[in-house]
Amino acid sequence: MENKAERIAKFIARAGVCSRREAERMIEQGRVKLDGEVLKSPAVTVTDQNKIEVDGEFIGAREKTRLWLFHKPKGVITSHADKEGRKTVFEILPDDMPRVISIGRLDYNTEGLLLLTNDGDLSRKLELPSTAWIRRYRVRAYGHIDNNKIEILRSGVTIEGIKYAPAKIEVEKTQGGNSWLSISITEGKNREIRKMLEFADLEVNRLIRTSYGPFQLGNLKPYQVKEVVGKVIREQVG
C-alpha cells in the first residue's frame, strides 16, 4: 500500500487523527497543510511521500488497522481535551500506545468497555446505527421497578422528542432500594440508558458497559488495555 494515492481526508483518518468527516471539516477550517500550504479543499489525493500537517503536527505514514479493548474507569471523559479540566481517557492510556481515537463514547460516570483504534474510518463504521452492533450494560439503579414502564422501554419510546429503539431489559436482582438490570441497546445515543431509566423513574448510580458487538470486557481490570489480534479484527469487522 505504500505510495498508493488516496483522498487526504481518508489518509488523515487512517492515521488515527479523527474520522474522515471530521478531517474534511478540519480542512474547511484551514487546519490542514499539504506540503507546507494551507489546504483549501478535501478534493485532493496524497501518498506517503506528501508532508501533511494537522494543527501544526506532522502526520506520519499510514499504519495497519489496529484495535484495542480498554476498561474505562469512572471519572474520566472520553475526549482529547476538556474545557472543565477533567482527566481524559487519552491521558491515562499506557505511554507506549500510539495515537488512537475511540469508537463511540462512555460518559464521565460510566465505566467498562471502550474500543480504541488507530483508524478513523473504522471508528466511524462501527459507530453507525446501520452496523447494529449490540451494546450490553449492567446497571444499578435506585427506585421502584415499574413493570409497565419497563415494557414500554422494551417496545421503544420517545423521550423529549428523541426516539429510542426497543431495548432488551432484564431485572437481575433487587437489594433494598437498588436493582441490578441487564440492558442491551443497538444505537448508543447520548446518555441513552440514563434517560430511558429516568423515564421509568429509576436513578442510575452505576453503569458498566460489558460488551460492544462481539467484543467483551471479560476480566479486563480498570485502566487495563488489551490489543485485538489482526485475525480477529478481520473476522469480526472485515
Q: So which residues are the catalytic ones?
A: 107
In 3-state terms the chain splits into helix, strand, coil percentages (rounded to 5) of 25, 35, 45
Q: How many angstroms separate the CA atoms of 194 and 78, rounded? A: 17
Strand pairing class (215-216; 203-212): antiparallel
CA diameter of the chain = 64
Which grid coordinates belong to 58?
A: 506532522
Q: How many angstroms separate the CA atoms of 23 and 20, rounded? A: 5
**Helix (H) / strand (E) containing 112:** strand 111-117
Backbone angles phi, psi at 223, to 5 degrees: 80, -10
